[in-house]
Structure 1
Amino acid sequence: MKTTRLPSSAKLNTVFSRQKPGRFGSDYQPSIRAERGEAPKISHASKIYCPKLQRDVHCLSLPERQFACFAIYHPQLWDLHEQKMLHPAATSHPLSGHPKAAGLILPSLPGTLSALTRISPNYRHHSIYINSQEDPTELQKVAYPYIGDLLLFLEDKDGPYCVNWNVKSDPEGYSVRPNSTVFKEKRKSRALSPQVRHDLEHLYFKDGLIRTIDATPQALHPRLTGNLLWILPKIGDGIAKKDLSGFYSDLPGACTLSPQLIATRAAEWSGLSISECKTELWKCIWNRILKIDLFQSIFDDVPLRPQVIDPVELYAHLFSREE
């Protein structure tokens, strides 16, 4: 089926259909997919398979891909909603309907129409014209939803909570419009400046007690994100053919041996192939059973290094429910 990147009645219906409330895990569908005909032409769209969610995560930029991978790596993350629609009208809290949130009193979200009015009544919300349901010959003006980047679902000692990541290539992107002919052509349909759009997203989630963090690649160590993006595809579906976590944990000096040597010894012990053992090794590293230095380059035939700095602790502020 032919798709269009431009806002339209059909696209509006698609977004609302995909973003039905109460969808979590493998049932979740992003507003925009990282596929030809949907992703913006100037984007670097890609998918990351996440064993934890049992589905592909759709990323529309390289920074989104880096942050999505780091989010998936975090042990307290239990769901991730990328390309999340910001509802124009008031809506329920993103946690609503999930068993983890049973019994919690969750504040609703105000809707972007209300939030924008509170910023200033002079700003115009993005809108399109569609055929009226009462009279198909007449056009009706409706608000078109803005789309967020990454909404994280986490859990700590106080229970489940959400953190919203607003991802840009650099800090300037939150206040300066991109200097691109593609964006110049869309200015008529984008009445909001980048700064107002930024403030709108923060206010929208703030009423739901959801913290929004401005996330740019400069905030993360490039070797860390590079290693995580390299390891994640190697763990496959995350289902172990044989549990080797105990072997790897008990292997003397495991964090100082090369991946090839570790897998060779595991193969001799388990009867699995070296390739299968290596897959299980990457799973143990990804699941933080074997803690290695992820801030150093990883090579198959070069000894690993023990963890010196825990990236989860170093970047804890990116996952905290409070500032």
Structure 2
Amino acid sequence: MTPQQKYFLIMERQGFFTWGDVYTPSTLAVPREAPKGSRISRLNSRKLGRTLHVLSTPERVFTQLALHHPALLDLHEQKMLWPVTACNPLYGHPLTREAFPAPMPGTLEIAEAIGFKHYEIVLSLPDGHRERTAFPYQGDLLLYLVRTDGTPYAINWTVKDEGLSFGERRRSQAKTPVQQRIDREHAVLRARLETQYYAGAGIQTVQVSMDMLEPTVIANLDLLFPMHGLPSTLDAGVLDEFSIEVQKAVLSGEPTAQLAIRYGRRWGSLNQFIARIYQDIWERKLPVSLFHPILIDHPLVVGKTDLLLELRSLFGGAAL
């Protein structure tokens, strides 16, 4: 795909989005579009009712973390940063009380102010003319959450594998001191560009990286998310009764797998009862710690630090 084709594809997907439409990210997690060497994933979210396209392992993990938060209203991955002044991402949202929330400043204006060379391409127009234009940058994850008073707000996550990667582009590659200096300057200015872009509309930007999370937390998110949307053919009343018994078992220190086996013998569909355990943990119906391995054939750990409370600053302090 040429830069011109990519430019028009991004504009087609992002240029006319309004709330109520099905969101389409700038870049889809498919080999033809994703950056070479990226670890793409497509996540089916029951909460949002669509497939999310993420372009790296850290993006996958933090998308799952965001979807785990009960205050999350929506999430826009690979969202375009407008080169020119544009509407606030919350403009037109049904919960927004402001008729005209603060607009977004264009990245061209910000780049000029901070001394950053904005990426540009040359477009070949139908009339034969060629025109130089700014190519839009993309963010990673833009979260939409709701406050306790019912008003929505947005928070922008920029995502890396390690915290040090925010300070240097292509940090793992061998390079000369001159190239290293160039890559460090580029990373710092690119981060400042995005931060100021969202700050102009009153939206906080938070840098998140995989090394902020314990390996056990990552493993638990990877375990729980695929289970959260599995359909069930069992009677809803039976599953609700099972969930009540599971909660009692968790609080009394009984392995929940034994309970699932008993219900499976009576009603069949053992796998659906096992999935229900994971779904109740995902939906925070069970006070299970995500800082410890979730092993349903062992007593589950409860009463420890709540993951979302521990990481509440990443969500702008959103209530649970």
Same fold (TM over 0.5): yes
Is 1:208 the counterpart of 2:201 in the alignment? yes
Is 1:218 the counterpart of 2:211 in the alignment? yes
Is 1:260 the counterpart of 2:257 in the alignment? yes
Partner residue in 1 for 2:147: 156
Is 1:140 the counterpart of 2:131 in the alignment? yes
Partner residue in 2 for 1:306: 302
TM-score by length of structure 1 reads 0.86
Give RMSD over aligned pairs: 2.7
Query: Structure 1 residue 288: deviation in Å?
Result: 0.5
Runs (5+) with no aligned partner, structure 2: none
- Alpha-carbon spacing, 1:265–1:82, altered in 2? closer, same or farther (3 Å): same
Distance, in Å, in 2 between the alignment partners of 1:291 and 1:25 is: 34
Picking from 26, 30, 38, the partner of 1:35 is 30
**Letter of the structure 1 residue corresponding to residue 210 of structure 2:** P
Distance, in Å, in 2 between the alignment partners of 1:182 and 1:127 is: 27
Picking from 44, 50, 53, the partner of 1:49 is 44
- Alpha-carbon spacing, 1:286–1:115, altered in 2? closer, same or farther (3 Å): same
- Alpha-carbon spacing, 1:150–1:272, altered in 2? closer, same or farther (3 Å): same
Partner residue in 1 for 2:188: 195
- Alpha-carbon spacing, 1:21–1:240, altered in 2? closer, same or farther (3 Å): farther
TM-score by length of structure 2 reads 0.87
Aligned length: 308
Partner residue in 2 for 1:276: 272
Query: Structure 1 residue 131: deviation in Å?
Result: 1.9
Query: Structure 1 residue 307: deviation in Å?
Result: 3.8
Runs (5+) with no aligned partner, structure 1: none
Distance, in Å, in 2 between the alignment partners of 1:23 and 1:182 is: 44
Query: Structure 1 residue 149: deviation in Å?
Result: 0.3
Equivalent positions of 1:227-246 (< 5 A) are: 227-237=220-230, 241=234, 242=236, 244-245=239-240
Query: Structure 1 residue 177: deviation in Å?
Result: 2.0
Three-state SS of the structure 2 residue aligned to 1:284 is helix
Query: Structure 1 residue 285: deviation in Å?
Result: 1.0
The more displaced of 290-299 and 254-263 is 254-263
- Alpha-carbon spacing, 1:140–1:108, altered in 2? closer, same or farther (3 Å): same
Query: Structure 1 residue 258: deviation in Å?
Result: 2.7
Query: Structure 1 residue 157: deviation in Å?
Result: 1.9
Q: Deviations over 1:137-158 (max 9, x none)?
A: 2210011000100000000124
**Letter of the structure 2 residue corresponding to residue 284 of structure 1:** D
Distance, in Å, in 2 between the alignment partners of 1:94 and 1:61 is: 24
Picking from 161, 176, 187, the partner of 1:169 is 161
Q: In 2, are the aligned partners of 1:238 and 1:283 still within 8 Å (CA)?
A: no
Distance, in Å, in 1 between the alignment partners of 2:35 and 2:244 is: 45
**Letter of the structure 2 residue corresponding to residue 301 of structure 1:** D
Query: Structure 1 residue 23: deviation in Å?
Result: 4.4
**Letter of the structure 2 residue corresponding to residue 208 of structure 1:** A
Query: Structure 1 residue 231: deviation in Å?
Result: 1.1
Seq. identity, %: 32
Three-state SS of the structure 2 residue aligned to 1:48 is strand
